[in-house]
Amino acid sequence: MNEVQRIGQIAMIQNAHPGKGRRPEFLSEESTLAARHYHGSLPDYQPTPLVCLSDLAKKMGVKDIFIKDESYRFGLNAFKGLGGTYALCRVVCEELCLDPATVTLEELRKPENLEKIQKMVFVTTTDGNHGKGVSWAAGLLGCEAHVFMPKGSVEARAQAIRDAGKAEVVITDLGYDDAVRYAAKMATENGWFLVQDTSWPGYDKVPSWIIQGYTTMVYEALTQLAVAGYKRPTHVFLQAGVGAMAGGVLGYLACVYGDDLPTVSIVEPSEVACIFESARHEDGEAHKATGSEVTIMAGLNCGEPCLVTWPILRDFASYYFACPDEVSARGMRILAAPEGNDPTVKSGESGAVTAGLLSMLLEYEKYQPIREKLGLNENSVILLFNTEGDTDPEGYREIVYNGAHPMTTH
């Protein structure tokens, strides 16, 4: 087993040999161009803001902190629409023999195409944001969609999926991974098209398209960083559930920067940390999470890694962190109450855990050994991704306004 370093309630594993794997060429700038082309054809597409938190950076003793704010993406309050829209596009292109490198939404909406497309039915399982993206994408094409949610999902997230597009939503009595298996079963039995953002043996093509779709946000972020005067960030923190987003972003970074890859840390909820658990083993294989699977970070509450991206996370991440819910709640409050002239960032439970972790590592003396390992100092330029806004408005208010999930220990 790889060594786990624990300080307080935070656990960390160091990758002894980051960057030694084979770069995932399907996530290169050239290979993901078609995703950016299709996204550019969607209604109201524009790059989401890259927010500079310079006063927070000054307070914490680093050069700069940037956060890509995906709460503005397509009006969906989360980044997941990037994956859902591109995956549906690719499934349709495959069925209709269209060229995915050049296709646009306008072409898909031509009457001769829509007549065939609107007979297609899509299905997925979601904790919230992915299902909202699939619902919206299906709505753009007038398709029927079925979305299953795991037990414990809040009705506000279910209704947001219905409101986003054209989907029937059911909150099941199953855990996330069992709900995924149920969606796959329903697809097989009914001839529906499964659009799932995780993978397993025999199911990797559609997840790969979803992951390619996610790279649009990191392409935008690096372009915006260049405008701000930075060729590359020194550190990137990525939150992970199954690891599709984290692996997609990391794979893109590995292709762009090669041997000059930034220090990348993967961050998960302590109670459902399947990437952390996989990194803890030395066999290189994906392993299920061993915790209770109870967390406020609904979008990260996934017990089994995505097999498409696990090799990327295994080979190219530098560090893996597991954090309790209070770290995410701390991040939400920090972003909601900015330092000095920094702008406010409305970040949900799954979007803020990296900000919470970063603040603890930089502010508290007992984390100095971890700071030194990561090389966090006055020259650090740090990139975070706010993957969702207040997708559970009531839960957001309880944490930000009423102080739910307070820090019990630093």
Which candidate in 64, 68, 69, 127 is catalytic?
127
d(CA 68, CA 348): 14
The conformation of residue 372, written as its DSSP 8-state character, comes to H
Q: For this structure, is 166 an active site residue?
A: no
Cβ contacts of residue 365 below 8 Å, gap of 6+?
A: none
Three-state SS at 37: helix
12 close to 5: Cβ distance less than 8 angstroms: yes
* Distance in angstroms (rounded) separating the CA atoms of residues 274 and 268: 8
Q: How many Cα neighbours within 13 Å face the side chain of 347?
A: 32
Signed CA dihedral, 307, 311, 317, 319: sign only: positive
The active-site residue out of 68, 80, 132, 166 is 80
User: Pairing relation of β-strands 235-239 and 193-194?
Assistant: unpaired
Can 80 be counted among the known catalytic residues?
Answer: yes
| CB atoms closer than 10 angstroms to residue 295 | 24
- Interacting residues of 210 by C-beta distance below 8 A, sequence separation 6+: 83, 84, 86, 87, 195, 196, 197, 244
The amino acid at 217: M
203-206 contacts, C-beta under 8 A, 24 or more apart: 204/307, 204/308, 206/87, 206/90, 206/91
CA 181, CA 94: separation in Å to the nearest integer? 24
- Catalytic residue numbers, as ranges: 80, 127
